[in-house]
Structure formats: structure tokens, C-alpha cells
Amino acid sequence: MVDLADIVRGEGAEYLRTHFVRSEQQKALYDIVRCRTEAMGSVTVPCDKCRTEYPLFRSCRNRSCPSCQSEARHKWLEARGEEILPVEYLQVVFNAPPGLKVLAQYHPEELYGIVIRAAGQAVIDVGRSVLEAQLGCQVHLQTWGQNMAYHLHAHCVVPCGGFAADGSRWVAFDADDLPRRALQRRFRALVCKGIREAMAQGRLRRLPKTVSVEKLLDRTRMREWRVYAKPPFGGPEKLYEYLSRYVYRVAITNDRIESYENHRVAFRCRDNRHGYEEKPRTLEGQEFVRRFVMHVPPRGFVRIRSYGFLANRNRERNIERARQLIGAARPPRGAEPFKPLRLCPACSGRDQRTVHFAPRPDVAPQLDLPLRPPPITPIAA
């Protein structure tokens, strides 16, 4: 069984030698290689069934590692389930135009922050002006598609309702009442405004002189800024379950990787043009690593943010108030909080996977090459 760590072991050294990587990208590759190996050390834990103590390799806990943080993902999903209101929900997806990719190459933290804030603010502004209600939303930033190519977009989870201006009543609306065109125009205006402000304040100083922000915005303004707004299939629970797969991971999960042979990686990806059918896709090993690395978020960047009455500061109080106005009491707690079950090899009832070991000492130092300067885009934007 092949996983991402096997691919990084085989391609990482050559990729770092020939490509520029940011420090957090280099750290992600280094952590993924060492995750759950002797290089991370081990800890002795008791089996939850027979209480036999057995050694367990430590995980790297890097948020880009597909093998880590399953427990954190389950707890996040449980917390979101506690906050679901007894109303219909909307999934609103804001797609940024491909022309903005050049900004992400040099200032990803600035561009991603602008896109997240613009998506959340667009929902709040349109709700206030069109529906006369204070809405709430949770925004999830993603930079990849199924084939791991660059696709900057933001998923918004939006309850179909909000508080009236004076907060005295709940204003409900149907899924079709939130105008997609208005969201599209407002999102575009806020993104363009945010980029101009960042440029004026000197926060885009790493951009090469060949890139003109004004010309870039003139081009992207003429493109269609696609916005999708529909109720999620299966309700908010299914939507949160889908988003939880990428809360603590990026780009691809290990179960989608089929094989890695002769420096070629085969993986499954969904073809949206043919009924969402999963089809095999093959990439050269270096291209696969390049696509994965460009989705590693900047250091300390928060990819999930909440706005409106779901903002973190007053979320719990506002949700309780919303339930009172809707006329629904707090739903009873369902199952017990998630607790990971740790079983020894004898009790797991499954064949153990082949244990992956850290790279040989003569190979590992290749992952510590000094960073190369960023490339200069030869074509003016």
C-alpha cells in the first residue's frame, strides 16, 4: 500500500534540489517523511481491549500530513454538529479567477486572507441589503481541485435565516432568496478592493516588477467570478463531513493514491464533467510533488473563519438565542464524545501494514538544502 510519504521519499530530494520552496513547504515534506517512523521515536501505550502495552510510533502532527490528526478532525466535526440550527442550510462556493495565481506565488498569506474575508463579508452584506437580516456563515478556504491543480475557492456554510436588525425576531428565507449575482458582484468588488489596499500599504512588496497589480485586476474583472449557491445534498451534516476531510489536511488523502512506480504516481480523481465519476489519473513524480507542495498553507495561516452571528466571539450565545427565536430547544446530545480506540496488533484483527522507516542517513540531509530565491515571472501581468 502506497502513501504520500513513500512518494516524498522517492521524489523529495530531487524536488528540493531543482525547485524553490517556502520554509513551511520544506518542513511539511520533512515531517511527512518522518511521520510514524523510528525517526519520530515511539511511545508505549496500553491496548484498550486487553491492556497489553505495545510501542506506537509518534505522528508528526503537521496539518498538511494526510496520516495525522484524525482525532482532531472527529472532534471538530462533533463541535460543528452541536451548532447546527433546525433550519435549511446553503452551501455557497466563491471561485476566484485563475489570474490571481501569480499573487499566491509571492504573497499567499495576503491573497488567501483577502479571499476569505471577501467571501464572508459578501454573504453578510448581501443578507443585510437584500434580506434585511444579519446572517452567519463559516468560510473554508481551499486551493485545490480533485486533480490537485491550483483552484482557489472558498466554501461557505450558511444557515437559511438570520436575526432582524433589532435582534427581536428570526428572519427565515428560502434557498433561492439569496441572489447569486449579487454575491458574485460583491465578492469581486471586495477582493479587488482588498488587493488594492494591500498594494497601497506595501504588503505586496515581494511581487516582481514585471507584475502590474492594476493590469492584473483589469484582466480578472473581465472574467466570470463563478458563485455556486445550493442546499447541500444530505443536509448540513453531510456538508460538514465533507469539509472535515480537509480541515487538517490538504490536496489529497492516502486512500486516493493507487500506485507509485517508475517515478509515476497513479491516483483517483473525480471528473465533474462526467457525473462526478472517479477516474484514474497519472502524473510524473516531480509534478505530483509540485502540485501537493503548492497547497501547503503559509505558516500560522487560519483557513477556517466565521462571520456574522456565527463569529467566534459570541457564537455560543447567538446560537442559543437563534434556537429560542426559531422555537426549538437545544437538541439532546447524541452519541458519546469521540474517543479513539487504540488496539494492539493482536486485538486489531487486521494484518499490519509494512512499517515505513525514515530515509537512510546519506539521503536525509538532502531534505535540508538551503532555500532558493523565488523565480521571476517573465511575462508582465
Average pLDDT of the residues in 259-269: 90
Band (pLDDT 50/70/90 cuts) for residue 366 is very low
Q: Residue 126 pLDDT > 90, yes or no?
A: yes
- Contact between residue 135 and residue 211 where contact means Cβ atoms under 8 Å apart: no
pLDDT at 51: 83
Q: Work out the mean pLDDT of the chain and round it to a whole number.
A: 84
Q: Which DSSP letter does residue 254 get?
A: G
Of 224, 261, 7, residue with least CA distance to 99 = 224
Q: Residue 271 pLDDT > 80, yes or no?
A: no
* Dist CA 318 CA 309 (whole Å): 6
Q: Residue 379 pLDDT > 50, yes or no?
A: no
Of 123, 37, 177, residue with least CA distance to 308 = 123
In the sheet that holds 264-271, the strands lie side by side as 257-261, 264-271, 277-284
3-state secondary structure (DSSP) of residue 223: coil
Residue pointed to by grid coordinates 480533485: 146
CB within 8 Å of 25: residues ≥ 6 apart: 293, 296
Q: Residue 122 pLDDT > 70, yes or no?
A: yes
Band (pLDDT 50/70/90 cuts) for residue 219 is confident
Start-to-end CA span in the chain (Å): 44
Q: Residue 275 pLDDT > 90, yes or no?
A: no
- Phi and psi based region of residue 263 (left: phi greater than 0; alpha: psi -120 to 50; beta: remaining): left
pLDDT at 363: 34
pLDDT at 337: 64
* Dist CA 34 CA 9 (whole Å): 10
Give per-residue pLDDT as tens, 291-338. 999 999 999 899 999 999 999 888 999 999 999 999 875 655 555 666
Domain ranges (residues) in the chain? 4-62+340-368, 70-251+295-326
* Dist CA 341 CA 75 (whole Å): 14
CA distances from 353 to 2, 37, 62, 101, 258 (A): 10, 13, 21, 39, 16
pLDDT at 329: 59
What percent of the chain stands above pLDDT 70?
A: 86
CB within 8 Å of 302: residues ≥ 6 apart: none
pLDDT at 39: 82
Instruction: Look up residue 326 and give its amino acid.
Output: I
Of 88, 90, 94, residue with least CA distance to 186 = 94
- Contact between residue 227 and residue 94 where contact means Cβ atoms under 8 Å apart: yes
Q: Residue 375 pLDDT > 90, yes or no?
A: no
* Dist CA 119 CA 191 (whole Å): 9
pLDDT at 377: 40
